[in-house]
Amino acid sequence: MTLHEPAIELVRLRGVTKRYPGVTALDDVDLSVVEGEVHGLIGENGAGKSTLIKVLSGVERSAGEYTFGGEKVELRSPRDARERGISVLHQERHLVPTFTVGENVLLDDILSRRLSVFNKRNVWARSRRYLDLVGLDLDPSDTVDGLSSAQQQLVEIARALSVQARLLILDEPTASLAFHEAADLLRIIDNLRAQRVSTLFVSHKLEEVTEICDRVTILRDGRVVGEGLDPTRLSRDDLVTRMIGRTYVSEAATVRALNESDVALQASGLHGVGSPRPASFVVRRGEILGWYGLVGAGRTELARLIVGAERSKGGSLRVDGHEVSVKSVADALRHHGIGYVTEDRQGEGLFLLHTIARNVSATTWSRLRNRIGFFDPRAETRTAEEYRRSLSIRTPDVSKTVGSLSGGNKQKVSLAKWLVAGPRVLIIDEPTVGIDIATKQEIHDLVTRLADQGVAIVLISSDLPEMIGLADRVLVFRHGEIVADLSNSKDYQLMSALVMQAIIDDRDDVTAPVVRVAEEQPSATLERRASAG
Amino acid sequence: MTTMLTSAPTIARPNARHARTGGWLVAVNLALFVWLAVTQDAYLSDRNIQTLLSNLSIVALIGLAQMVVIAAGELNLALGAAGSLSALAACSLMVNVGVPVPLAMAAGVVTGAMCGAFNGYVIGQFGLSSFIVTLATASVFTGVALGFSEAQPITGLPTGFVDLGHETVFGVPRTLLLAAIAAVALAVFFRKCGLGRQILAYGGNSEATELSGLRRLDVMVAVQAISGAVAGWAALLLTAQIGQGQPDVGRDWLLPSFAAPIIGGTLLAGGSLSVTGTCLAALLLTQVGSAIVFIGLDPFWVQFVQGTIIVAAAFFDRTRGRAGRRARSSAETTPMGVGA
């Protein structure tokens, strides 16, 4: 697509740098978005895309120069950004479910007029215009409750337009959409050019990016590795190469020698309400099985199904060869030895206001009783002390509350809790999100140690280097389906290309060199091929 | 380009849901009324109808006071205590200072509003839960009321005030009319006022509205203050009915305050309310209370029945709220990887 000259520059970033403790999320980033263009932003998980979105939308402040509409700006809040015409569509929906479509479209208007008289009909009538802009043929007096996710997304776009957005930032807008819905959305984004609205389009789906974007900027490790490229001149392989082309090989990238061990957990055609597609896989004792996929690819849903947090609708699950029916999370742990370290450690995994000791022993209170059946607090403290030392949880005292620990140390407590319980199978969901590099390494070591002790590990992670550094085998999830089973050679270049290939291939005609490991073939056939890194 | 998007699935309208709740409540109320009127001779007596409607005015008001807070997804456990303090302030002004009745009543309502505003400020400013704050201030307000009055009722209220509790206008108790004014005001407020809509938006999705710059503090102060004012109004009317200023007039309000809005179709999760439904549910509660007296059950069973009805209503609330929750849970995606 060609731009109408002369192009007026709407956004201009120069030398934007954002450091978090221990991590440089953005390193000297330049970006230029012109009026009316659709600008793609791509990069792996962890490349700094969401930090960049946060900087652009006033959520985070950064060093460097930010020019918007020809004027140097210093955004102090998301509201500040919105007043200038910067709207972000997050991956999560932000609608008011009890309000009508029309009210949701004009929500910002409603929220800014505290003392005026509210007239529903007037709101509905005015919202019509914006619904038309996004091609939504809905009655403004309908509630948003029953809308499909595509329709809800369009309602949010209409809302963004209603505040005269000049820059629309779309974060993975098609992640939760069916193929045809995504196609419709792309067409609408395409039409926004006519409104002189600029769009920053963040997506993992390279076909979409190539199809709709005028220019593409690629981030890798917080740096811009390609600014304002013309996507029509780049093949998909070029884009992938630029995205993953790093010499950095993740820690401990040695292929673990696995004995031909027993299958610890085997799922056949397992499916439930949250994960409607049947899933089959095996994980052996001492094996680390990685589950990679985009957010929403169905990994957490499958894990919840296995541990009994969701009800199974069919298929079978075998633990150590015996068919089991897991009734609840407690049942999974107590009777089948399946533990689950949740991703949401703040909300689900830990009791933040309780002491470290109590958290560590939470899964095994019944075992900490003394001879006459009373709970023994000293045994609790003893166990916790042991784990504090072996996991190097940085706290002076296990009687401190968990809430006072840093994210990484919270995660260690979360893991320690399961170590005490001694599970046969441990599912670990996104163990290192938001954790600094040093602690990350410790957690990785811990996971490997657990596997060495014979625990079968399912590692769910969206961090590709982590996945390739840790897993023995990687299952790739897409749209709730396992689309590839890759034996991990721990060669980052090769593996990341294979994984990305499996993820972005929406078409079936591509003959990707997917290494399929048959279910019966022991993964121990992997040679010890140490690639010191 | 709209072809794919026009096929909207059938949409459940909340107003339709309320209408159904309303219809159900009208039917049950009517059935109960007819049954009692047929089986109990005294039920249709003037005196009983007066009592019924007087009680209704109080139950409806305390239900509405709680409804306002529930609409924002919060709760107010201090509404009885704030009411007691309001009534005490008004009575004290009338009897000890000699302030004219309307002025003293206004001062009572303002006292309730101030108690609520204080709750809202503490909740919003310090990011605390309304549960714990109002639980604590309920004790604080009660302590002030009892300490101030030395736990003695204030007697010798002006007749102009006490008459409010006993007069009728065309056969309707004046207190019911005074309660109706508050109900209508609230209905208009939530339907027509910007602030009312903002409260509902906040209750429906607090995160989305906060991202749009609505401050939680403002919402908390607004709902708690309104709740306190309505509770104060209820306490004044009840005091007029009783004829003396009791320092703990709102002691037993907690249960009915939740029962009425929940039975009446106000979503516990927030974002949606029904003034009509709350009033109809208050009528149901009043009739049930009356029925228990008429059929000779021990009045202590009133609490048992109210409790049972609340459990049933909470169950209905769950089914009713399911559509809304589904929309929200499907929107919940997992947090993304670092910087992704």
| Cβ neighbours of B323 in A, within 8 Å | 97, 145-146
A363/A381 Cα distance (integer angstroms): 14
Whether B200 has a pLDDT exceeding 90, the answer reads yes
Distance from CA of A221 to the nearest CA of B (A): 9
Q: Pick the residue with more confidence: A196 or B339?
A: A196
Alpha carbon of residue A532 to chain centroid: 29
Q: Which residue of B has its CA nearest to A51?
A: B339
B82/B108 Cα distance (integer angstroms): 10
Percentage with pLDDT > 70 across chain A: 77
Q: Which of A92, A154, A433 sits opposite B338 (nearest CB)?
A: A433
Ranking A212-216, A255-259, A525-529, B18-22 by mean pLDDT, the lowest is: A525-529
Cβ atoms of residues A162 and A81 within 8 Å: no
Q: Any idea what DSSP says for residue A349?
A: I
- At A88-113, the pLDDT tens digits run 888 777 899 889 999 999 998 888 87
Question: Which residues, numbered 239 to 268 in chain B, qualify as contacts with chain A under a Cβ-Cβ cut-off of 8 Å?
Answer: 267
Q: CB-based contact (8 Å) between B271 and chain A?
A: yes
Ranking A180-189, A446-455, B182-191 by mean pLDDT, the lowest is: A180-189
Mark residue A492 as left, alpha or beta (left: phi above 0; alpha: psi -120 to 50; beta: remaining).
alpha
Confidence band of A375 (pLDDT split at 50, 70, 90): low
Q: What pLDDT sits at residue B15?
A: 42
The residue assigned the tokens 């309707």 is B172
Whether A533 has a pLDDT exceeding 60, the answer reads no
Whether A495 has a pLDDT exceeding 60, the answer reads yes
For residue B84, CA distances in Å to A136, B90, B135, B245, B250 come to 52, 10, 15, 9, 5
A86/A92 Cα distance (integer angstroms): 18
The residue assigned the tokens 């602690």 is A439
Whether A467 has a pLDDT exceeding 60, the answer reads yes
**What is the value of pTM for the model shown?**
0.67
Q: What pLDDT sits at residue A336?
A: 87
Backbone phi, then psi, for A16, in 5-degree steps?
A: -75, 125
Mean pLDDT of the region A416-437:
76
Ranking A18-32, A166-180, B32-46 by mean pLDDT, the lowest is: A166-180
Q: Pick the residue with more confidence: B256 or A174?
A: B256
Mean pLDDT of the region A255-268:
79
Cis omega (within 30 of 0) for bond into B153: no
Confidence band of A300 (pLDDT split at 50, 70, 90): confident
Q: Tell me which amino acid residue A446 is.
A: L
A88/A78 Cα distance (integer angstroms): 9
Cβ atoms of residues B82 and B231 within 8 Å: yes
For residue B68, CA distances in Å to A215, A352, B142, B187, B260 come to 50, 31, 22, 10, 12
Mean pLDDT of the region B199-227:
91
Cβ atoms of residues A313 and A345 within 8 Å: no
Mean pLDDT of the region A118-136:
88
Q: Do B11 and A462 touch (CB under 8 A)?
A: no
| Cβ neighbours of B332 in A, within 8 Å | 92
Q: CB-based contact (8 Å) between A383 and chain B?
A: no
3-state secondary structure chain B: CCHHHHCCCCCCCHHHHHHHHHHHHHHHHHHHHHHHHHHCHHHHCHHHHHHHHHHHHHHHHHHHHHHHHHHCCCCCCCHHHHHHHHHHHHHHHHHHHCCCHHHHHHHHHHHHHHHHHHHHHHHHHCCCCHHHHHHHHHHHHHHHHHHHHCCCCECCCCHHHHHHCCCEECCEEHHHHHHHHHHHHHHHHHHHEHHHHHHHHHHHCHHHHHHCCCCHHHHHHHHHHHHHHHHHHHHHHHHHHHCCECCCCCCCCHHHHHHHHHHCCCCCCCCCCCHHHHHHHHHHHHHHHHHHHHCCCCCCHHHHHHHHHHHHHHHHHHHHHHHHHHHHHHHCCCCCCCCC
Q: What pLDDT sits at residue A403?
A: 67
Q: Which of B4, B272, B340 sits opposite A49 (nearest CB)?
A: B340
Q: Do A79 and B1 touch (CB under 8 A)?
A: no
A517/A291 Cα distance (integer angstroms): 15
A147/A233 Cα distance (integer angstroms): 38
Q: CB-based contact (8 Å) between B319 and chain A?
A: no
- At A45-90, the pLDDT tens digits run 667 888 899 899 888 888 899 999 888 998 888 888 888 889 888 8
A321/B159 Cα distance (integer angstroms): 85
- At B72-105, the pLDDT tens digits run 999 999 999 999 999 999 999 999 999 999 999 9
Whether B151 has a pLDDT exceeding 80, the answer reads yes
A74/A61 Cα distance (integer angstroms): 8
Whether A516 has a pLDDT exceeding 50, the answer reads no
Q: Any idea what DSSP says for residue A405?
A: S
Residue B47: exposed, middle, or buried by beta-carbon count in 10 A (0-12, 13-18, 19+)?
A: exposed
The complex's ipTM works out to: 0.79
Q: Any idea what DSSP says for residue A27?
A: E
- At B258-299, the pLDDT tens digits run 999 988 888 888 888 999 999 999 999 999 988 888 888 887
Q: What pLDDT sits at residue A415?
A: 74
Tokens read off for A12? 């201009």
Q: Pick the residue with more confidence: A516 or B194?
A: B194
Ranking A110-114, A268-272, B327-331 by mean pLDDT, the lowest is: B327-331
Is the torsion defined by CA of A500, A502, A505, A506 positive or negative?
A: negative
DSSP codes, A233-282: GS-HHHHHHHHH------TT--PPP---PPEEEEEEEEEESS--S-EEEE
Q: Any idea what DSSP says for residue A194?
A: G
A106/A134 Cα distance (integer angstroms): 14
Q: What pLDDT sits at residue B128?
A: 93
Q: Which residue, A90, A36, A30, is CA-closest to A59?
A: A90
* Letter string b/e over residues B207-241, b meaning 16 or more CB atoms within 10 A of that residue's CB: ebbbbbebebebbbbbbbbbbbbbbbbbbbbbbbb
A312/B50 Cα distance (integer angstroms): 57
Confidence band of A394 (pLDDT split at 50, 70, 90): low
Q: Pick the residue with more confidence: B190 or B6?
A: B190
Backbone phi, then psi, for A399, in 5-degree steps?
A: -90, 5
Q: What pLDDT sits at residue B147?
A: 92
Q: What pLDDT sits at residue A370?
A: 52
- Helical (H) or strand (E) element with A482: strand A481-487
Question: Which residues, numbered 325 to 364 in chain A, qualify as contacts with chain B under a Cβ-Cβ cut-off of 8 Å?
Answer: 343-344
Q: Do A96 and B201 touch (CB under 8 A)?
A: yes
Tokens read off for A116? 């005026």
Angle ∠(B229,B235,B241) on CA atoms, nearest 5 = 145
Q: Pick the residue with more confidence: A485 or B69?
A: B69
A500/A517 Cα distance (integer angstroms): 18
Ranking A12-16, A265-269, B294-298 by mean pLDDT, the lowest is: B294-298
Long-range CB pairs of A391-395 (<8 Å, 24+ gap) are A391/A415, A391/A416, A391/A442, A391/A446, A392/A442, A393/A356, A395/A356
A106/A127 Cα distance (integer angstroms): 6
Question: Which residues, numbered 446 to 465 in chain A, qualify as contacts with chain B under a Cβ-Cβ cut-off of 8 Å?
Answer: 461-463
Q: Any idea what DSSP says for residue A124?
A: H
Chain pair A-B, CB pairs under 8 angstroms: 194
B200/B218 Cα distance (integer angstroms): 13
Distance from CA of A174 to the nearest CA of B (A): 13
Q: CB-based contact (8 Å) between B188 and chain A?
A: no
Angle ∠(A280,A508,A231) on CA atoms, nearest 5 = 120
A52/A16 Cα distance (integer angstroms): 9
Q: What pLDDT sits at residue A389?
A: 72
A364/A380 Cα distance (integer angstroms): 9
Strand order in the sheet with A322-324: A279-284, A263-272, A312-319, A322-324
Q: What pLDDT sits at residue B339?
A: 28
Q: What pLDDT sits at residue B176?
A: 96
Question: Which residues, numbered 129 to 168 in chain A, qualify as contacts with chain B under a Cβ-Cβ cut-off of 8 Å?
Answer: 135-138, 142-152, 154
Helix (H, G, I), strand (E, B) or coil at A175: coil
C-alpha R_g of chain A: 25
Highest mean pLDDT: which of A322-331, A432-441, B162-171?
A: B162-171
Backbone phi, then psi, for B298, in 5-degree steps?
A: -60, 130
Distance from CA of A519 to the nearest CA of B (A): 29
Confidence band of A361 (pLDDT split at 50, 70, 90): low
Cβ atoms of residues A412 and A393 within 8 Å: yes
Q: CB-based contact (8 Å) between A220 and chain B?
A: no
β-strand pairing of A288-293 with A473-478: parallel
The residue assigned the tokens 């109002």 is B134
Q: Which residue of A has its CA nearest to B208?
A: A94
| Cβ neighbours of B324 in A, within 8 Å | 97-98, 145
Q: Mean pLDDT, chain A, as a whole number?
A: 78
A486/A476 Cα distance (integer angstroms): 8
Q: What pLDDT sits at residue B31?
A: 94
Confidence band of B220 (pLDDT split at 50, 70, 90): very high
3-state secondary structure B183-223: HHHHHHHHHHEHHHHHHHHHHHCHHHHHHCCCCHHHHHHHH
Confidence band of A343 (pLDDT split at 50, 70, 90): low
Q: What pLDDT sits at residue A508?
A: 43
Distance from CA of B231 to the nearest CA of A (A): 24
